[in-house]
Chain A
Amino acid sequence: MNGVHDMGGMHGMGPIERAKNEPVFHARWEGRVFALRRAMRPWAAFKGKANRYKIELIPPAEQLRLSYYALHLTSFSALLRESGLVTAEEFATGKRARGSTKTVPLLKADQVPAFLAKGSPADRNANVTPRFQVGQHVRARNIHPLGHTRLPRYARGKQGMIDRDRGVQVFPDTNVADLGEKPQHVYSVRFSARELWGEQASPRDAVYIDMWDDYLEPA
């Protein structure tokens, strides 16, 4: 979707403000919401669910106003409610429904190191033919999907060159929408700064963008 999260190339966001000796979490609740989201991941109802898409759906003014972890609290709450693991009544009362069975957490403290070390790899061992080769000139498609996409607006319609083939990975556009993983090749595509931004850009500079096969067409 053409949301405000897709902010590459926007003006007027102000100077970059840097804090010295910044803590990892600025308040206890930030760490807790971060941990809650990770601890819920092993549940099947959370499989393939993306916080970030939920964040993208938050109206633009709110997205810009809220802090990173406030956005995550919002998106996590939405995922939780949709998961069915928490009923609307439990959400409303903050208490486990009477008569419901207490389950057993899928992530225990001693499993945390192995859980984090494994992560969630996106590569798939699928036999998919790449449509493009390294060195080939390509164009990013001029598409404007209403759902989740990783094709940034500033690159759409622009010409670039395939720099690397990064292998076959899950396609988030369909995966997030519950339309399947649709594994396909991801390429690192080199766009010259001038192609993206015109004469104002430095003639040598370039932006490298990782792009799924479906985002590209031959140039």
Chain B
Amino acid sequence: MSTTRRGFLTTAGVVAAQNAAHGQDHGHDHQAVPSDPALRVKALESLLVEKGLVDRAALDALVDTYEHKIGPRNGARVVARAWVDASYKQRLLADGTAAIAELGYAGEQGEHMVVVENTPTVHNMIVCTLCSCYPWPVLGLPPVWYKSAPYRSRSVIDPRGVLREFGLEFPEDVEVRVWDSTAEVRYLVLPERPTGTENLSEEALATLVTRDSMVGVAKVTFSKTGGPA
């Protein structure tokens, strides 16, 4: 622990001195990122716990929630419900936040949800060019590629090229709509229900729905032998 604290001391001290010299904070805190962020975070956590600012058990609960409880299975249940229940689908497209809350998903980074529907003539995909905004209550935390510069930079200027990289090719008569999450609205794509699934239960349908299909970079597929094609 003493090594941890000392490592913390060194880096933080340098930054504090720089800020004092500037007389103001320019936010140039990149200099504070040490070679080992693990030690830095450990020291930060110890300090905040010691000061009574955070509760260690609450941190555990937060991590556990996003590792095990909130993820794309939530969104898949929303999609499956919309596929089997026409009135639910209507509510979902009219007021995403309220309809998603019907299934118990709400809150942090999903306070204002909009659901966009894929059809044979319109394909939707989601990006956040300025940041990494993503609908957490229904999809969990985003994968690295969604937060990456290649995806964020190209999705708006070359959506068809990006989709091709994901293995999707659309003819010119299909309209591709890109939703750039610049404000506090978070988007979920309602993918098309695959053919041949007429006899599947809502639960079985939910198992077909992938994260990528709800971001709009994949289609939902089904093979008669069971499961996604």
A interface, CB within 8 angstroms of B:
5-11, 13-19, 22, 24-29, 31-36, 38-40, 43, 52, 54, 57-59, 62, 64, 66, 68-70, 73-78, 80-82, 85-86, 88, 90-96, 100, 102-105, 107-109, 111-113, 116-123, 150-152, 154, 166, 169-170, 186, 188, 193, 196-197, 201-212
Contacts and interface: CB of A to CB of B under 8 A. Distances in A.
B37 A152 contact: no
Question: Chain B, interface size: which category?
Answer: 35 or more
B9 A116 contact: no
B110 interface: yes
Interface string B22-40: 0001111110110001101
Given A16-B150, A19-B144, A70-B37, A39 B184 contact: no
B151 A122 contact: no
Given A16-B165, A116-B107, A39 B62 contact: yes
Contacts of A197: 157
A110 B183 CA distance: 30
Contacts of A62: 30
A88 B18 CA distance: 12
A11 B12 CA distance: 36
A205 B131 contact: no
5 pairs of A and B residues whose beta carbons are closest in the complex:
A8-B129, A57-B27, A210-B183, A109-B57, A119-B107
A208 B145 contact: no
A209 B16 CA distance: 39
A29 B63 CA distance: 10
A117 B109 CA distance: 10
Given A109-B57, A209-B182, A25 B5 contact: no
